[in-house]
Chains A and B, each alone.
Chain A
Amino acid sequence: MFRKPPEAPDAVLVEVEGRPVRVPPGASAAAAALIAGLASTRTSPVTGEPRAPYCMMGVCFECLLVIDDEPSQQGCMVTVRPGMRIRRQEGAREL
Chain B
Amino acid sequence: MAAIELRGLTKVYPGGVKALDALDLDIPDGEFFALLGPSGCGKTTLLRTIAGLEIATGGAVVIGDRDVTGVQPGGRDVAMVFQDYALFPHMDVTENIAYPLRIKKVAKSARRAKAVEVGTRLGLEHLMDRRPGQLSGGQQQRVALARVMATQAQAFLFDEPLSNLDARLRLEARTFLKKLQRELGVTTVFVTHDQAEALAMADRMAVMESGHIRQIGTPAEVFQRPANTFVAGFIGSTPMNLLDGAVRGDTLDVAGCKVGVPSSAEGRLSDGEKIVYGVRPEYMSYSAEPAEGALGGKVAIVENLGASHLVTLDVNDVIVQAVVPEGSEPSLGDDGYAVPRRDRALVYRDGELV
Chains A and B come from one and the same complex = no
Give the A-binding residues of B (Cβ under 8 A).
Answer: none
Give the B-binding residues of A (Cβ under 8 A).
Answer: none
